[in-house]
Amino acid sequence: MAVINVLCLANHERLGGGEKSFSELVKGLDRQVFRPVVIGPQAGLFRETMETTGLKYYPLPLGESAKIGIIGLYNIVRAIREIVKAEQITLLYACTIKSLLLGRLGTCGKSIPAIWHVRTMKTHGMLDWLIPVLAARIITISEAVKGKIPNFYKKRTTVLPNAINLAEAGQKSIEFDFRKRYNISSDTILFGVIGRIAQEKGQSYFIEAAARIAPEYPKARFILAGEPFLAEDNKYQAHLKDLAQSLGIADKLIWPGYAPNIWPVIGALDIVVVPSLREGFGRILVEAMAMGKPIIASRIGGIPEIVQDRQEALLVTAGDSALLAQAMREILADANLRQALAQNGKKTAQSKFGLELYHDKIHKIFQESLSKY
């Protein structure tokens, strides 16, 4: 059987959870069946990461920093059409509305089915009704994300939770000693939020909760690992620092910034907190479970599909810093609870979120998309 050439499009320059999942998906495709060809931004961590995979990578001005007009759009579409022809593409895979639209324009007039992998809870008005027309198959990362797909398209929609490289947790967690790097003693209690600094990630509620429990636990420290990306994220980070200052806990916060390798950061934490206000999946949940860390998370979006309350995590109402602080107190006071959450989480990560089963399902979806088109 001839190898299937798959054009994989991405347009984010950053390397967040969605981009990591995209990278793992295309790297893990069976090369005896599929040959992925990637089109992505000209700059940024995503390109740097993809170029280490050895996959064919075509850089185009698709990223957030690229300013393109009508002529620029025409040139991008023309370039995609040339790539489709040169690489003999027979299947299109895209993860965003922008990449799906560009891919469809670049394959217009050709019998090439498209797969749209929806990784966000964000809605786009009428586009949510129009865009699915372009895809032969739709993959969503959770039932919560599937809920935003109009019912008319549900029959072609498959829910497939993200997966992670479980072996990587052990291999990369020893790359450096996070506590030593930041001069944190072994008896210091570390809570941490890991992810993009953005309002939807709920870091302000984490800081407010930290201010509530800090007087009770003087040795506790609070990590906010990540960095802003958009202009509004920069403003939000400034607000967070002002908030910490006004609450009198600025000296108890640690801002390590973006960590290309997050495993040592997770490994250093005693409790991982995910205070998101909107979350389609929450990759950090699986990463924390793989490292055997107890979790406190918002009961929002796709999170309850990944972790069950009092099984792998304590779930709290999103946006309520008082309830979050209460959960932080409870988890600190109960060593048996911490141990149970950690052990249950590790078992769940290993049984449900490994890459092998994930890629088996992806292969099936890809092949069905071709056979039914």
15 and 62 in a single domain? The answer is yes
At 45-67, the pLDDT tens digits run: 999 999 998 999 999 998 877 78
What average pLDDT does the segment 339-359 reach? Answer: 95
Q: How confident is the model at residue 174 (pLDDT cuts 50, 70, 90)?
A: confident
Q: Whose CA is closest to 89, among 35, 41, 137?
A: 35
Q: How many domains does the chain have?
A: 2
CA-to-CA separations, 326 to 129, 181, 213, in angstroms, rounded: 41, 30, 9
Q: How far apart are CA 79 and CA 102, in angstroms?
A: 10
Asked if residues 302 and 142 have their Cβ atoms less than 8 Å apart, the reply is yes
68 and 200 in a single domain? The answer is no
Q: Whose CA is closest to 122, among 96, 153, 102, 93?
A: 96
73 and 181 in a single domain? The answer is no
Q: How far apart are CA 271 and CA 209, in angstroms?
A: 14
Q: What is the CATH number of the domain that holds 142?
A: 3.40.50.2000
274 and 188 in a single domain? The answer is yes
At 199-231, the pLDDT tens digits run: 999 999 999 999 999 999 999 999 999 999 888
Which tokens go with 52? 């280490």
- For the chain, strand residue ranges (E) read 4-9, 34-40, 56-59, 91-94, 114-118, 137-140, 157-159, 189-194, 220-225, 253-257, 271-274, 295-298, 313-316
112 and 256 in a single domain? The answer is no
125 and 235 in a single domain? The answer is no
Q: Which domain holds residue 104?
A: 4-163+354-371
At 99-133, the pLDDT tens digits run: 999 999 999 889 999 999 999 988 888 888 899 99
Express as a percent the part of the chain with pLDDT over 70.
99
At 7-16, the pLDDT tens digits run: 999 999 988 8
Local structure of 257: helix, strand or coil:
strand
211 and 178 in a single domain? The answer is yes
107 and 203 in a single domain? The answer is no
347 and 235 in a single domain? The answer is yes
Q: How confident is the model at residue 373 (pLDDT cuts 50, 70, 90)?
A: low
Phi-psi region of 44 (alpha: psi -120 to 50; beta: other; left: phi over 0): left
Contacts of 300 (CB under 8 A, 6+ apart): 276, 277, 278, 279, 318
Q: How confident is the model at residue 156 (pLDDT cuts 50, 70, 90)?
A: very high
Dihedrals phi, psi of 241, to nearest 5 degrees: -70, -40
Q: How far apart are CA 276 and CA 282, in angstroms?
A: 9
Q: How confident is the model at residue 84 (pLDDT cuts 50, 70, 90)?
A: very high
Beta bridge partners of 257: 225
DSSP string, 239-256: HHHHHHHHTT-GGGEEEE
Which tokens go with 370? 């071709």
Q: How confident is the model at residue 289 (pLDDT cuts 50, 70, 90)?
A: very high
214 and 297 in a single domain? The answer is yes
33 and 124 in a single domain? The answer is yes
171 and 314 in a single domain? The answer is yes
Q: Among 96-100, 353-357, 368-372, which stretch is predicted with the lowest mean pLDDT? A: 368-372
